Amino acid sequence: MKAPIDFYFDFSSPYGYLASHKIEALAKQHGREVTWRPMLLGAAFKMTGSMPLPQVPLKGEYAKRDFARSARFHGVAFRIPDPFPISTVSACRAFYSLDEKAIPFAKAAFKAYFVENVNIGEADNVLKIAASVGGSADISSQAVKDRTKAEVDAALAKGVFGSPYMVIDGEPFWGVDRFEQIERWLAAPF
Amino acid sequence: MKAPIDFYFDFSSPYGYLASHKIEALAKQHGREVTWRPMLLGAAFKMTGSMPLPQVPLKGEYAKRDFARSARFHGVAFRIPDPFPISTVSACRAFYSLDEKAIPFAKAAFKAYFVENVNIGEADNVLKIAASVGGSADISSQAVKDRTKAEVDAALAKGVFGSPYMVIDGEPFWGVDRFEQIERWLAAPF
């Protein structure tokens, strides 16, 4: 059995959202599972000295255009939510508090934010989304906070600095625009 | 006649180098010419608050791996030069001082730097490369300095913040990883 694909993303990342629509089919074609690993881009940005794309001069304007065009390119429903970006710590904690409902929650949270314009930065909305997929999320216990911090720290320790970020048998790929390379890599590393 | 594709790049950019191997064939398939427009990433980085990829924590290590893997993916000979990155102002001035030899010079300069490990940050090497394609480059006259500055300023004014950066009928595309989107766009904007 081949190792799962590690799929790191931030719930506030448009490119992470687009990747979430493609990763499972791609993995399945090559006999792989996907381990979903939400992380917090804010923590990574502190290490890289980056800031959210919309705040970067020149690049911010381009990014907004590229988000929407890339969504059309991949055939995925998308709008830039308002507000954007947001803190995703509640969504991240909810994910790590859920078991078999974690991935359904992640998909529902992405859809709520990037299609239905629901502010998933708000704890109440996160809990409602978890309930909508039959999950009972815990976002306030110390155990869940510790688990989430440990997951985010582990991602940073592995060098995860962006979203989406995929690791396949130790090989890292950053960006939904690396899916072509991933597809070839899964067939045969090059 | 359709408008040419504006192809912005920095001579020290690995992704710009990869794009230089693909842009002309792609344009030709869709009945377009390519206008090569070298610029200076350092000037763009001052506006965006960025720094050269190899200097960015986490991202720098990834970038070195991705440069080489992307070159293999596209089937283009590549090595990370030493030193890297460099100032490309001399190469940029040489380009804008040449007429029909400008594009052959650009290709030769990219090859010298990313295949033969020639330091194209050094003025002497730039002049030799121009001579090797039959060109007589001027990198020291005030007229050429002014022309180069005007070209770089015009690129920044158009929002060019990275390399490669392609503009097609007003639509901007950043990165060699946008060539898939460019290909579809040239067939029919989406």
pLDDT in tens, B113-170: 999 999 999 999 999 999 999 999 999 999 999 999 999 999 999 999 999 999 999 9
Q: What is the 3-state secondary structure (H, E, C) of B98-157?
A: CCCCHHHHHHHHHHHHHCCCCCCCCHHHHHHHHHHCCCCCCCCCHHHHHHHHHHHHHHHH
Q: What is the dihedral of CA B166, B172, B178, B183, to 10 degrees?
A: -80
Q: Does B45 touch chain A (CB under 8 A)?
A: no
pLDDT band at A40 (very low <50, low <70, confident <90, very high): very high
Q: Does B58 touch chain A (CB under 8 A)?
A: yes
Residue B138: which region, alpha, beta or left (left: phi > 0; alpha: psi -120 to 50)? beta
Contacts of B113 (CB under 8 A, 6+ apart): B11, B12, B17, B81, B86, B119, B120
- Name the residue in chain B with its Cα closest to that of A167: B62
- Compare A97 and B54 and report the one with higher pLDDT: A97
Share of chain A above pLDDT 70, in %: 100
Does B1 have pLDDT greater than 80? no
Q: How far is A73 from chain B (nearest CA, A)?
A: 7
Q: What is the DSSP letter of A163?
A: S
Closest Cβ–Cβ partner in A61, A172, A177 for B177: A177
Report pLDDT digits (tens) over A89-146. Answer: 999 999 999 999 999 999 999 999 999 999 999 999 999 999 999 999 999 999 999 9
pLDDT at A136: 97
Average pLDDT, rounded, for chain A: 97
Contacts of B19 (CB under 8 A, 6+ apart): B7, B9, B164, B166, B176, B179
Selected residue of A161, A167, A173 to mutate for chain B interface (largest B Cβ count, 10 A): A161
Report pLDDT digits (tens) over A132-155. Answer: 999 999 999 999 999 999 999 999
User: Which residues of chain B lie closer than 8 angstroms to A161, CB-CB?
Assistant: 57-59, 62
Report pLDDT digits (tens) over B63-103. Answer: 999 999 999 999 999 999 999 999 999 999 999 999 999 99
pLDDT at B90: 98
Report pLDDT digits (tens) over A158-184. Answer: 999 999 999 999 999 999 999 999 999
